Amino acid sequence: MQRRGNPARLVIALSVATVLAIFLLYTSIAAQGTPSLQPSQLPGHHGRVTLGGKVVGPVAGNAHDTPLRFRLRDRNGTVTVPVSYRGTVPDMFKVDREVAVDGALVNGVFVAKANTLVTKCPSKYTTKKS
């Protein structure tokens, strides 16, 4: 009896190769992911990044007619950077809350992309209530 090659193996191999090819093509052509940085890590980054940190007042503007202006501080540090943002402001946004926003550093001010401001929900799993 002749032993035929198992078509299943060929199919699996081809499919895995196809998937890998699609994946590699996508990740090489499209963005390589956006860096998530704290203010102290900003200098030197020129492209679009996600800036995270704690909100430092004073907060001015209403984010629609006038840009929302505030400063962001390192989570565990003192370096701050001024931020200018337009778009939806989450309800939980306030001074001392941790937030993240996309954008780029332009002339010393972090100019944010519209509607990218997110706040972190107070965690359910901390040992102490924040």
Query: Which residues would be at the binding site for another protein (CB under 8 A)?
Result: 4, 6-8, 11-12, 15-16, 19, 22-23, 26, 30-37, 41, 50, 52, 62-65, 88-89, 91-92, 98, 100, 118-129
Give the integer Cα–Cα distance in Å for 34 and 72.
18
Q: Output the furthest CA–CA distance in the chain (Å, rounded).
A: 84
Place of tokens 């090489």: 28
- Taking the complex as a whole, how short is the minimal distance between the CB of residue 85 and another protein, in angstroms? 13
CB of 31 or CB of 108, closer to another protein: 31
CB of 9 or CB of 58, closer to another protein: 9
- Taking the complex as a whole, how short is the minimal distance between the CB of residue 100 and another protein, in angstroms? 7
- Taking the complex as a whole, how short is the minimal distance between the CB of residue 27 and another protein, in angstroms? 8
CB of 81 or CB of 89, closer to another protein: 89
CB of 23 or CB of 106, closer to another protein: 23
- Taking the complex as a whole, how short is the minimal distance between the CB of residue 10 and another protein, in angstroms? 9
Establish how many alpha carbons lie within 13 A of residue 57's alpha carbon, considering only the half-sphere containing its beta carbon: 7
CA torsion sign for 53, 93, 81, 49 is positive
Neighbours of 85 (CB within 10 A): 25
Contact 65/89 with Cβ under 8 angstroms?
no
